[in-house]
Chain A
Amino acid sequence: MEHTIDRRAFLRLAGLGGVAYASGLAGCAGALTSNKDFYFVQLSDAHWGFEGPPNPDARGTLPKAVAAVNSLAPEPDFIVFTGDLTHTTDDPVERRRRLGEFKRVVGRLHVQEVHFMPGEHDASLDGGAAFQEFFGSTHYTFDHKGVHFIVLDNVSDPAGKIGDAQLTWLAADLGKTDANLPIVVFTHRPLFDLYPQWDWATRDGAAAIDLLMPHPNVTVFYGHIHQENHHMTGHIAHHAARSLIFPLPAPGSQPKRTPLPWDDAHPYKGLGFREVEAQQHGQAYLLQELPVGRGAS
C-alpha cells in the first residue's frame, strides 16, 4: 500500500511538535492554511557516493527521500536541490559516475520541474565542469507565480567565493527586477558568517547581501551545514536545510566539525527535507521539516 503524507494533517500535527517555522510575516504562524499560493520542496546535501559509519544506509537514504517526496499530496510545484548532490572524489571519472547515478535516482521524482545547483563536493575540484555536463549552468534565475528565484553558485571557486563576474551578473539581474517583487535566493554555503571557524561562510557573501538589501522581500534557502538553522541579516531571512546523509553538530558545539554518529535506536535521525509554502503572494513562507521516511525524526 502506498503511503501518502496528507499535508493538512501533517501541518496540524506539526503545530504540536513545533517543527513548523514561519518566515517573513509577523503573526502568519496562526494562519497556516490561508492564502496559500504554492509550495516547493528543498532537498540538500545528498552526498551520493559517501560511505561510512555516520550513515550505514548511505545508498538507501536518497531513494527513501525520493519516495517520501513522491508521496506528498498535493504535489509540490517544483523541487530544488541546494548542492552537494554527490560526495567529493579526487577521481574525475568517479565524480561523473556519482553525478550520473544521482541523476538517475532523482529521475524517479514524479515532479518534473527540479532545479539543481552544486555544492563544493560537486564542483570545487573542477570549477563545476562535471556538474555542468549533467545539470547545466551553476547559476541562473527563474520566475514562478510572482516570485523571482535566483540560484547563486558559491562553490565552483574552490575558495568558496561567488566571484566578481557572478556578482556583476547578480547586480544586473536585480537591476531589472521590480523592487517590490518577492525574491528567493537558493545557494549552497551560507552567505553570511555563520561560523567561519568551520568554513561556514562565503568569502564574498556580504557583497551579495549588499546587492539584495535594497529589495524589501528577500529570503535565502541554503544547505552545506547539514542542519536546520534560521538567521536574519537585516530584513533578509536565511534558512539552512537538513541533509540526506548525516547531520553535523551545531556551530561551535564541539571542537571538530565531525558528523553526528548514527543512532541505531533512531535511524535517519536529524536527516530530512523541507517544504516551503509561499503565502500572501510570496510575502511570507511557511517552512515544514519532514523526515526521509516513516519512523524517522
Chain B
Amino acid sequence: MTPFCARRLLLLGAAAGVTCVLAPAAATPPRLVTVRAKRFEFEPAEIHLVRGEAVTLEFTSLDVPMGFNLPDFGLRSDVIPGGVARVQFTPDRSGQFPFHCDIFCGSGHENMSGVIIVI
C-alpha cells in the first residue's frame, strides 16, 4: 500500500467515525498517547510528538459526545462516551499545531482546544 493510499484510508476512516484506522505496517508499533476529553478540556491539552515517529492518539470522553479535529494534518474523529477513538498518524513536519473539539458540547465548548508540538 502506498503512503498516499494509506492516508486516504485514514481520512475516510476518520470521516466515518470508526475507531480503528489502517496504516502501513511498521517495524515498531506506534507510540500510544491517551487523551481524555471532558467538558470542556482535553487531558493532556499539550501533546509532544517527534517528527517521523508514528503515533496513535487514543481518545475517550468522560461525559458527552466530543470531536477531535487537527486541521493542519486533515485529521478528525468523533469521540463518543463509552467508546475509544483512535487516530494514527506520523507527523511529517515540526511545529505547533492546534487541535480543538468540533462537536458543540456546551457553554465552554469554544475554549476546548489543545496543541500538538512536534519536534
Chain A residues near B (Cβ < 8 Å): 88-90, 120, 124-125, 155, 158-160, 196-199, 203, 255-257
Contact = CB atoms under 8 A, between A and B. Distances in A.
Contacts of B106: 88, 90, 125
Contact of A257 (B71, B104, B105, B110): B110
Contact of A158 (B100, B103, B107, B113): B103
Interface string B79-119: 00000000000000000001010111111011001000000
Given A124-B104, A158-B105, A199-B110, 8 more contacts: A88-B104, A158-B103, A159-B102, A159-B103, A160-B104, A196-B69, A196-B71, A197-B98
A160 B102 contact: yes
Contacts of B103: 158-159
Nearest to B66: A158
A155 B109 CA distance: 14
Contacts of B71: 196-197
A89 B98 contact: no
A239 to B, nearest CB: 23
Pick from A88, A197, A255, A256 the residue with the most CB of B within 10 Å: A197
Contacts of A203: 102
Contacts of B67: 159
The main secondary structure of chain B at its interface with chain A is mixed
B104 A120 contact: yes
A199 B107 contact: no
B6 to A, nearest CB: 22
A161 to B, nearest CB: 10
- Top 6 A-B pairs ranked by shortest CB distance? A124-B104, A196-B71, A158-B104, A197-B71, A90-B107, A197-B98
A256 B112 CA distance: 11
Given A196-B71, A197-B71, A89 B107 contact: yes
Contacts of B69: 196, 199
A203 B72 CA distance: 15
A138 to B, nearest CB: 15
A88 B65 CA distance: 17
A14 B93 CA distance: 46
Nearest to B105: A158
Contact of A256 (B65, B72, B113): B113
21 contacts: A88-B104, A88-B107, A89-B107, A90-B106, A124-B104, A158-B103, A158-B104, A159-B67, A159-B103, A160-B104, A196-B69, A196-B71, A197-B98, A197-B100, A198-B100, A199-B69, A199-B100, A199-B102, A199-B110, A203-B102, A255-B98
A159 B77 CA distance: 11
A160 B104 CA distance: 8
Contacts of A124: 104
Nearest to B100: A199
